[in-house]
Structure 1
Amino acid sequence: MARKFDTAGGLLHDLLDRFEGGTVRPIGYPDHDAFASVTASDAFVRSIAEAERTGGVERVYGKGRRHVELKHVRLADAALLYRHLGRTPARQAAIGIGETMLDGLTLHPKLREAALTAIDAWSRNRTWATLGIDDAASMRTAIVLAQAIVDGSHRGLDYRTFSRRTVANSKALEKLEAAVLRLITGVVDVPPSSGARAAFAALGLERFGPPLLLSGAFLLDRQPVPPSLPYLGIPPTAMMRIGFDKPPAYALTIENFASFNRHVLEADPERVGLTLFVGGYPSLATQRALAELGSILPESVPFFHWSDIDPDGTWIFRTIERALGRPLHPHLMSRELAEKFGEVSAGISKLRRSETSLSLISDLVNYFIEPGSKVMEQEQIDPKIPGWPITD
C-alpha cells in the first residue's frame, strides 16, 4: 500500500526510515485529499522543493491533466537529506548509544555478542525484543540481569527479589523478561519454545516451585505411603525424606499431568514402579530432587522418561538425564511413533547432534533435524509400563 503524507516532514523522515530499513530508493506520496487548505498544500510542496534543491530527494509529477500535481517523492541522496533535516543516521546513533549502553559492563562474550545484535537492529531502525533505540537504558538493565543469570546469581530467588538485588528495581525482570531470555539463549541451555517464566524456573529462578508428584510403593519419613493414595505431592527439596523397603521395578518421569494420571491409574495400579510428574519443564529444584533420587536408587533400577515427541520433549529428556547423572531411557518416544501418529513439525530442534551423541534420545534428536519430521503429543498414546530390556 502506498505511503501517503500530509506533512513534508513526515514524508521525508519516512524516506530515511525505510532507507535505514534496507530500501535503497524509497518513495513517498503526498495525501492531496488530506490537506486542510490550499495554503497547507502549497507549504507542503515548498518544503519538498527545498529538499530537492539540496539534492536529497527527487520530485515526480503526474502526466496529462495532472502534470502540475506532485505525484510522489523519491529519495535521491540519503546523506544530503540527513543533512537537510539535521538528522543523525540511525547507524551512527546506534553505535554511539550502544557504546554508552555497554560502557563499564563485564559480560560473557556470547552475551556481548547478543547485545550487539540489538545495536545492529537499531542501526537499521528496527526494534529488538520490542526494545528500540530509545529504550537503551532498559536494554542496559536487561543486559545486567542477563549477566547475573549467567553468573548464577538468580538461583533460589523469586523474580522480584532477584531484580531488586541486581538492579535495585523489583519489577525490572517482569518488564524485560523477553529481552533477558533472548539475551541468555545463546549462553545457557534454555527450553526451546517455552515462555519466559517456565524457562527461568528451569534455570532456578523461583523461590517456591511446584510440588513433585510421586506414585509408587515408597516410604515417607520411613513410613509406608498408604496404597489408597494414587500419588503424593512433596516439595522437591524433601526428596531425601523418601525411602524404599525394596527398589521399584522402574522409575518413570512424565511431562504431562494427564498422562501421569493415566499411567498411575491404568498402567500401574499395583505401583510396581515409581512414577513422577515433573511439571513440564523441570525446575531447578525438581532437577536437584531427581539427582537425589538417582543417588538413592540402585543401578539395577532403570530410569525412563515420557514426554511429547517434539524438540521440547527432547530438551526435557536431556535436562532430566543430566540431572540424574545415569542412563535415562525414552519411553513411548521414538521416530516410529512420530511417523505413525504425528504431524509435520513447523519448528526446528535446538539440540545438535554433537550434544546428544552419547544420549539414548540421540536418534530422536537427529530425526527432528531432518526435513519433514513429525511431532505428536504424548496424550495420543495409551500408557504402558516400561519394558526391560527396552521394547517398542
Structure 2
Amino acid sequence: MPRRFTDAKDLLDDLLDRFEAGAASPIAHPDYAAFPSVIDADAFLKRIREAEAAGAVSLGWGRRGKRDQLAHVRLASPEALYQYLGRTPAPQIAQDAVARLVGGSALHDFLKTGAAQIAAVWGRGKTWHGFASSDVDTLRHAFDLAQAILDNKHLDVDYKTFSRRTVKHSKTLERVEGVVVRLLSGVLEFPPGARPREALRAIGLERFAPPLLIAGKVDLLGADLAGATPLYLGIAPKEADRVRFREPPAYVLTIENFASFNRHVAEADPSRLGATLYVGGYPSLATQQALRTISAMVCEQTPIFHWSDIDPDGTWIFHTIERAVGRPILPHLMSVEIAERSGQAPTKKSAPARCPPNSGIASLAAYLAEDGSKILEQEELDPILPTPRRRSD
C-alpha cells in the first residue's frame, strides 16, 4: 500500500527511514484527501519543493487532468536530504553509540562480534531486541555483566551482590538478564527452553542456592539420624560433603520434578534401598557440584540414574548431570519406547542436548531431533525402582 502523508517532514523522514532500512530509492505520496485545508496542502508542497531544490528528492506529477498535481516524492540524494533536514545518519549514530558501548572495556571476542552486529542493526535505523541506539547506557551494563560472567566473577556470589559489584547497582541484572543471556548464548551452553533467570542459575549465578533434597539411609557428619525416619533431608548444596551413607545404596537416582521425587520416595522406595535426590529442575551450579561430591561417595558398581521429562530440556538436564558427576549415568523412565507408547507431539520444536554418542541419553536425544518425535512429562508415569537392566526403559 502506498505511503501517504499530509506532513512534509514526516514524508521526508520516512524516505530516510526506509533508505536506512535498505530501500534503494523509496517513494512516498501526498494524501490529498486528508489535508485539512488548501493552505495546509500549499505549505506541504512548498516544503517538498524546497527539498527538491536542495537536490534531495525528485518529484513525480500526475497525468492528463492532474498534471499540475504532485503524485509522488522519490528520494534522490540521501546525503542532501540528511543535510536539508539537519538529521544525523543512522549509521553514524550507531557508530557513535557502539563506541560508547564498548569503549574502555576489555571484551571477549564474541562480545565484540555481538557489538558489531548491534551496530549493523542500529545502522539500519532498527532496534536490537527492543533496544535503540539511545539505550546504549543500559546495554553497556549488560555487556559489562556478560564479561564479568566470562571472567568467572559471578561464582560464589549471590545475584544482587554480583550486580552491585559489577555495575554499581543491585537491581540492574534483573532488568537486563535476558540481554545478558542472549549475549552469552554463543559462548556458554544454556538450557534450550530456560527462562533467563534459570539459564543464569545453571551457570552458578543465583540469589542463593536452593536446598538439596536427599532421601535414603543417610546421616550427616556430626549428626546421627539413625533414630529418625524423615521422608527426606534438605541441606545446603555446599554441605554435601557432610553426607554419610549408613550402608551402600543400591542405586543413586536424581529426579527433575518435585512431585515425581516425592512419589518415588514414598511409593517406589519406602525402604530407602537407594539414594534419591531432587535436582530442582535445571540443576544450579551448586547442585551440580553437590552431585559430583555425593557420586564420589558410592562405588563404581553403584548405578546412577536420572529421571526427567522426555523432551529436549530433559536431555539437557540429563547431560548436565552426566558431565557434573563425571561418570556414566543411565536414563530412568526416559526412552524412545516410552515416548512412542505414551507421548504426544510437541506444540513447538526445540533442539535436544548436544551430547556425544557414548552419552546415556544419546539415543533419546537423536530421536527427539527427528520429525514426528513425541514428548512426555514425567508426572504422567508412575514411579518404579530403577535397575541397570532398564537402561532402554
> Larger deviation: 150-159 or 265-274?
265-274
Q: What corresponds to 1:379 in structure 2?
A: 379
SS at match of 2:388: coil
Report the Cα offset of residue 373 of structure 1. Answer: 3.5
Residue type of the alignment partner of 1:322 = R
Residue by residue over 1:44-73, the C-alpha shift from the partner in whole angstroms, topping out at 9 and shown as x without a partner, is 222223223444334445667766554543
SS at match of 1:374: coil
Residue by residue over 1:275-319, the C-alpha shift from the partner in whole angstroms, topping out at 9 and shown as x without a partner, is 111111111111111111111122121111111222222221121
> Larger deviation: 227-236 or 188-197?
227-236
Residue type of the alignment partner of 1:343 = A
Query: Structure 1 residue 263 and structure 2 residue 264: aligned?
Result: yes
TM-score by length of 1: 0.90
Preserved CA contact (<8 Å) 1:146 1:183: yes
Residue type of the alignment partner of 1:244 = F
Report the Cα offset of residue 350 of structure 1. Answer: 6.2
Count of residues paired in the alignment? 390
Q: What corresponds to 1:191 in structure 2?
A: 191
> Larger deviation: 378-387 or 226-235?
226-235
| Distance change >3 Å, CA 61–CA 336, structure 1 → 2 | farther
Q: What pairs up with 1:320-359 in 2 under 5 angstroms?
A: 320-340=321-341, 341-344=343-346, 346-349=348-351, 351-352=353-354, 355-359=355-359
> Larger deviation: 259-268 or 318-327?
259-268
> Larger deviation: 289-298 or 165-174?
165-174
Q: What corresponds to 1:145 in structure 2?
A: 145
State the identity as a percent. Answer: 50
| Distance change >3 Å, CA 185–CA 54, structure 1 → 2 | same
Structure 2 CA distance for aligned equivalents of residues 192 and 97 of structure 1:
31
Q: What corresponds to 2:361 in structure 1?
A: 361
Structure 2 CA distance for aligned equivalents of residues 174 and 214 of structure 1:
31
Structure 1 CA distance for aligned equivalents of residues 384 and 24 of structure 2:
61
Structure 2 CA distance for aligned equivalents of residues 350 and 86 of structure 1:
52
Structure 1 CA distance for aligned equivalents of residues 75 and 339 of structure 2:
53
Structure 2 CA distance for aligned equivalents of residues 268 and 69 of structure 1:
87
Structure 1 CA distance for aligned equivalents of residues 373 and 92 of structure 2:
44
Residue type of the alignment partner of 1:356 = P
Report the Cα offset of residue 209 of structure 1. Answer: 1.7
Q: What pairs up with 1:137-286 in 2 under 5 angstroms?
A: 137-221=137-221, 222-224=223-225, 228-286=229-287
Report the Cα offset of residue 325 of structure 1. Answer: 1.2
Structure 2 CA distance for aligned equivalents of residues 323 and 104 of structure 1:
36
Preserved CA contact (<8 Å) 1:345 1:374: no
Report the Cα offset of residue 254 of structure 1. Answer: 1.1
| Distance change >3 Å, CA 381–CA 75, structure 1 → 2 | farther
| Distance change >3 Å, CA 13–CA 386, structure 1 → 2 | same
CA RMSD of aligned residues (A): 2.5
Preserved CA contact (<8 Å) 2:160 2:207: no
Structure 1 CA distance for aligned equivalents of residues 31 and 154 of structure 2:
54
Structure 2 CA distance for aligned equivalents of residues 338 and 20 of structure 1:
50
Report the Cα offset of residue 377 of structure 1. Answer: 2.1
Query: Structure 1 residue 128 and structure 2 residue 104: aligned?
Result: no
Structure 1 CA distance for aligned equivalents of residues 286 and 98 of structure 2:
37
Preserved CA contact (<8 Å) 2:335 2:392: no
TM-score by length of 2: 0.90
Q: What corresponds to 1:305 in structure 2?
A: 306
Report the Cα offset of residue 374 of structure 1. Answer: 3.3
Residue type of the alignment partner of 2:334 = M
| Distance change >3 Å, CA 210–CA 61, structure 1 → 2 | farther
| Distance change >3 Å, CA 63–CA 278, structure 1 → 2 | farther
Preserved CA contact (<8 Å) 1:111 1:186: no
Preserved CA contact (<8 Å) 2:313 2:353: no
Residue by residue over 1:309-352, the C-alpha shift from the partner in whole angstroms, topping out at 9 and shown as x without a partner, is 22222221121111111111122222333334131462332644
Preserved CA contact (<8 Å) 1:115 1:183: no
Preserved CA contact (<8 Å) 1:146 1:184: yes
Residue type of the alignment partner of 1:186 = G
Preserved CA contact (<8 Å) 1:148 1:154: yes
Report the Cα offset of residue 184 of structure 1. Answer: 1.0
Preserved CA contact (<8 Å) 2:345 2:372: no
Residue by residue over 1:212-266, the C-alpha shift from the partner in whole angstroms, topping out at 9 and shown as x without a partner, is 1222222234523667532222221221222111111111111111222222223
Report the Cα offset of residue 36 of structure 1. Answer: 4.2
